[in-house]
Structures are given as structure tokens and as C-alpha cells.
Amino acid sequence: MAAGKRDVRPVRNVAGAVVSTQRPTPWVTYALMAVNVAIFLITAAQSRSIMQNYAGSALFQDWALYPPLVADGQLARIVGSGFLHFGLIHIAVNMFALWIIGRDTELVLGHTRYFLVYLASILGGSASVMLFQINAVTAGASGAVFGLMGAQAIILLRLRHSPAPVITVIAINVFISITIPGISLWGHLGGLFTGAAATAGILYGPQLLGATNNREKAVTVGWVCLGVVVLVTLAIIAMRILQLRASLGY
């Protein structure tokens, strides 16, 4: 019986994730939430304030995204800024959104692909800020959350469901980003575009490259397309760093 089970191919969903008979636990979403909260508590302890944790926190000063300092070699800010938050309300809103959006997205994409889409969205948000907000100091998981919203829209399209509810939420949040001062519109848009592109690579890449008839090949092609999106985003960041170094005289 054990040998027979090994010979049976696992059932996979539209993204190539193995389908379980029981609802899997979205542990990556919970882990990301835990890391964000832990980092927030560290900054709050360092600054001795949960509302102004960005003032007096060494970790916040070291990780907040400020393009000139990234160009000066402080590369940890590119990813680290995605785990920082400006005060209790900021992290509460972002963690609630991650809890709502992340769980279902993770169950469709699978744990590893989901994590990489999340990471790619952080990179995309940072790349966009470095391109268009050179003098801004930005932080927060919002770029990654926007990336997951973009991912959900692509998933719904692939499943031939209407993405209208997700698109409506995206439009509302973009409007808020435009109208309320201090919110990084470019970080949100960069994360949104990158998360959608990464998920489109996973779900539509095998179709475009003619790999849909071979399930294993389709999964591999999806991974490759996801990797290409990550590499392109990293290349944009590297190019921008070189441009900033030249213009700032580093």
C-alpha cells in the first residue's frame, strides 16, 4: 500500500501547489505576521514608545528605506524596511490586511511560492521608491500587502472568477494613498505591480510557453517565471543604485 501511494501523482491546483484533503495551515502568513510584530516590539522597546517607535530606535534608523543610504551600501534597507512600521495603527492595519488577504493566497500558491511573491513585492515596492521617491524615508509591509492584492486579482482571473471585488479594494487603497499625505504611493504601486507580475508568471507562464500539457513541466516553468520577475526587480534596484552613486558622487 505504501508503494502504491508513492506511485500516485499528487493532485495539484491551478498554481501547481499540492492539494490536501484537509485545509492546510497558512503558516507562512502567520510567521510573517509574527516577524513583523516582533520587529515592531523591538523598535518600540528601543524608542520606549508604541506610537512613535520610529524616533530613537536604532533598528528603525538602520532599516528604514532611504535611497541615498541604500546607494551608500546599506542594502539591508531594501528588504528590512518592509518589516518596519510607523506606530501601532500602521502595523495593526497592515497585519489585519495580511491576515485577511494572505491566508487564501498562500493556500493557492503554496507556501514557498507565496513567500517568494511576498518577498518580490517588498523588492518591487523598494525599487519603485528608489526610482521615484529618492528623498523619501519609507517603511511598512504595505508594498507586500498590495502585492498580495495583485496576486489575488491574477488568481481570480486564472480561475475565471470576477476580480472586481479585489480591484475595488485596490482602487480604494490607491485613492487613499494619493489623498492622505505621508503614504508612499510609489511603494504601494511597485509592490502591486510586482506581486501581480510574479503571480502571472506562475499561473500564465506555463500556458504562454506551451507547458500546460505536462504538469511537472508547467510547475517548473512557473518557478522559472517567478524567478525572472525577482531577478528583473533586483536588476532595477542595482541599476538605480549605480545611478544614485554616480549622481551623489559616492
CA 199 to chain centre: 11
Whether 142 is catalytic is: yes
Q: Mean of the pLDDT values across residues 169-184? A: 86
Q: How far apart are CA 125 and CA 94, in angstroms?
A: 15
In the chain, where the domains are located: 25-248
Angle made by CA atoms 16, 17, 19, in degrees to the nearest 5:
120
CA atoms within 13 A of residue 139's CA, in its CB half-sphere: 25
Residues with Cβ within 8 Å of residue 115, at least 6 apart in sequence = 28, 32
Report the candidate in 166, 165, 167, 187 with the shortest Cα–Cα distance to residue 177.
187
Grid cell 495551515 in the structure block, residue:
25
* pLDDT higher than threshold 70 for residue 9: no
- Set 121, 142, 177, 184: catalytic member: 142
Contacts 24+ apart (CB under 8 A), 85-88: 85/36, 85/40, 85/43, 85/53, 85/139, 85/140, 85/141, 86/53, 86/54, 86/139, 86/140, 87/50, 87/51, 87/52, 87/53, 87/54, 88/50, 88/51
- Assigned fold of 25-248: Rhomboid-like fold (1.20.1540)
**Could you tell me the end-to-end alpha-carbon distance of the chain, in angstroms, rounded to an integer?**
66
Task: Provide the pLDDT for residue 178.
Answer: 86
How sure is the predictor about 15, in pLDDT bands with cuts at 50, 70 and 90?
low
- Could you give phi then psi for residue 12, rounded to 5 degrees? -120, 150
Q: Pick the catalytic residue: 47, 85, 90, 188?
A: 188
Give me the pLDDT at residue 5, please: 45
pLDDT band at 12 (very low <50, low <70, confident <90, very high): low
β-partners of residue 12 are 18
Closest CA to 27 of 91, 103, 93: 103
Residues 6+ apart with CB under 8 A from 134: 67, 68, 244
pLDDT digits (tens, 9 = 90+) for 75-127: 999 999 999 999 999 999 999 999 999 999 999 999 999 999 999 999 999 99
Based on the residue annotation, tell me whether 126 is a catalytic residue of this protein.
no
Segment 33-69, tens digit of pLDDT: 999 999 999 999 999 999 999 999 999 999 999 999 9
